[in-house]
A and B are shown apart, each in its own frame.
Chain A
Amino acid sequence: MANLKELNKRKELLTGGHRMCAGCASPIIIRQMGLSQEVPLVVGSATGCLEVSTTPNPFTAWNSSFVHCAFENSAATVSGVEAAYRSLKRRGKVKDELRFVALGGDGGTYDIGLQSLSGMLERGPRILYLCYNNEAYMNTGVQRSGATPMGTQTTTAPVGKESIGKKQFPKDLTAIAVAHRIPFAAQASPSHWNDLITKSQKALSVDGPAFMNVLSPCPLGWGYSSEKTIEIAKLAVDTCFWPLFEVENGATWKLSYKPAAKKPITDYLKAQVRFRHLLRPENTAVVEAIQKRVDDDWAALCKRCGVEG
């Protein structure tokens, strides 16, 4: 468990004055993750909002060392950094104790960077891969990704006379990571900061790869006003649309949070412009399908975690 008083004394990973949008969850997530550590971090990121906004040459918002290479290779790039660290430490050229974090948005993780991520998880270096998941290609203007929820309005899967937005459900990337039987995998949300920080601590303490999939609400792409980010993230958790859990060694599933009363998915949908069209009467069946998927997934997760749903 993280202690606020202690966390207050720690150094922030990002400076103020980075150029992320007001209300964007991803710098909040990165700062929460960074506060979990006293050991210095070396961070790598895929191309995306976070990368372009925090490193416009000649400025950087990173207090740690930071590397960006390309879009689909955050995991491979940081694998190289970590390999260099082990080699140079063995050869007596590096003395400091360091930890390594690879970042990517959902596009850089679920889609174009999946192979690189899978390779890293299979090889087993001691790296935390954290996906800040805003459920679409936000940096290029809200195009659909493999993480975009079914029924979402996006610019490449728009709502129209013949379309409800994105037709498919997203892939279950956390389960894909778990299937690599890595020491630690988890889902987290910035609304549950203590849980996120505690999971980051665990993820960076295991001797091997760790994966965290963190929901990252995006005011611009999701369509809500910027002060509501944490509220929206909390609604995703309380509707069980984004459950919080962790899995050790691909086998031990643990539910991190169970809402006292599971809220209906419509509470979540109606709070965001990207889902607004679903509330029209002709789309009732779509909403029912989404609710059913949430219910089924939640029941399956509770069963895996040995918790009553």
Chain B
Amino acid sequence: MSKKLLALTGNDAAAYAMKQINPDVVAAYPITPQTSLMEKFAQFVADGEINTEVVLVESEHSAMSACVGASCAGARVMTATSSQGLALMWEIVYIASSYRLPIVMPLVNRALSGPINIHCDHGDAMGIRDSGWIQLWAENAQEVYDNLLQAIRIAENSDVLLPVVVNYDGFIISHAIENMYIYDAEEVKKFVGEYKPKYTLLDPKKPTTFGGFDLPDYYFEHRRQMAAAMSGSAKVIADVGKEFSKICGREYKFTEGYKLEDAEIVIVALGSTVGTARAVVDELREKGVKAGILKIRVFRPFPEEEIAGLLKDRKAVAVLDRADALNAVGGPLFDEVRGALYKKSNAPVVNYIYGLGGRDMGLAEINKVYGDLAEIAKSGRVANLVTYLGVRD
């Protein structure tokens, strides 16, 4: 497979993916830290490298609305946003999935106001976790690019027809330069293929109504169909991952373990923190500590059985949440991982809320988590179920 090694930021990587996808329509509005992605993409269009129709709307609400309109018209459609932008488009995010529109959106994760903050956390993505969008998560720029290419195929599969959000950490991934591979444009074009919508607004011989009014006699069935599509998407995500391995040389799955096989103490995390944790695990392994990582790549649909299978026999597990559910219980990922383990495992599971608003999550913080896990593994006792990591009390 021909590929080219480039030094790119995460946003550049997303822009490259979008360029190679060459969507029919992109509608977007600027927000930090998404901006450099759309700037780069706009330059590709300005230079005539691609001829996507770009709609530069006056708000994210209109961005997602235009995406819905364009997708109902049978176009392959993308947008990108962060934080408040996603919050503003929230109403239409739900409409996009309920109309079964395969829109793909990079979400450059940023903390939600308030207080206003522009740095990384996952509160924005967690806000749409129940919206019917498939959620992929990237650890680095390479995965941003790879996930976006796969997202198109997943979303547009006729057994799925749900929108996909590709998450990556604001600044930490979006603005850091990494070495990564870009694949041959023709090969990517062949992989993503052509979108052939079943219904479109633009065929006057077959007029179609989108967005009709559901009374109690239809709404429930429509929602039930969405649930079925979300469940059914699991097979498609796996198939696309396999097919994509021919291009990228590795297979993308729902989760990825790092030194997980014989690990006794395990951290579960999303996004760039996994990369930092790898370094900590390497150090601990040298000291003979059986530490490992379970990275979640696909958060929706939630791979419950796979997670339960991978975690059930560990001595202690820590779920890291870069978002707080403010439910007086724990973070959103923690809740779901604990749910997955219910009646399947006696392993103690604790939760760390970390990195809110871009607070650093360094080697020291992750070392502390593994230290706590080692203690729990030894004593079998959990002193703190939920810990706010690296915060001044």
Contacts and interface: CB of A to CB of B under 8 A. Distances in A.
A56 to B, nearest CB: 5
Interface size range on A against B: 35 or more
Nearest to B52: A87
Given A67-B68, A87-B24, 18 more contacts: A55-B211, A59-B212, A67-B201, A67-B209, A69-B65, A69-B92, A70-B65, A76-B61, A80-B66, A80-B67, A81-B69, A81-B201, A84-B53, A91-B24, A91-B51, A96-B203, A123-B55, A123-B56
B66 A67 contact: no
A63 B202 contact: no
Given A52-B213, A77-B69, A62 B56 contact: no
A96 B202 contact: yes
A224 interface: no
A19 to B, nearest CB: 10
A84 B53 CA distance: 7
Interface string A51-93: 1100111111011111111101101111111111111101101
Interface string B196-213: 000011111001111111
A115 B69 CA distance: 17
Given A64-B207, A65-B201, A65-B204, A79 B212 contact: no
Given A63-B207, A67-B69, A88-B73, A72 B61 contact: yes
B209 A60 contact: yes
Interface string A207-224: 000000000000000000
A251 interface: no
Contacts of A66: 201, 207-210
Interface in B38-79: 51-53, 55-59, 61-63, 65-75, 77
23 contacts: A42-B201, A58-B218, A65-B204, A65-B210, A66-B207, A66-B210, A67-B209, A70-B95, A76-B62, A78-B69, A79-B57, A79-B62, A80-B65, A80-B67, A83-B55, A83-B69, A85-B202, A96-B202, A96-B203, A116-B62, A116-B65, A119-B57, A123-B56
Given A57-B212, A116-B62, A119-B62, A84 B69 contact: yes
A300 interface: no
Contact of B68 (A60, A69, A116): A69
Interface of B: 24-25, 27, 51-53, 55-59, 61-63, 65-75, 77, 91-92, 95, 200-204, 207-215, 218
A40 interface: yes
A246 to B, nearest CB: 26
B62 A81 contact: no
A69 B59 contact: no
Given A76-B62, A83-B27, A116-B58, A67 B72 contact: yes
B58 A57 contact: no
Contact of A83 (B53, B212, B215): B53
Contact of B55 (A51, A79, A96): A79
B203 A88 contact: no
A51 B213 contact: yes
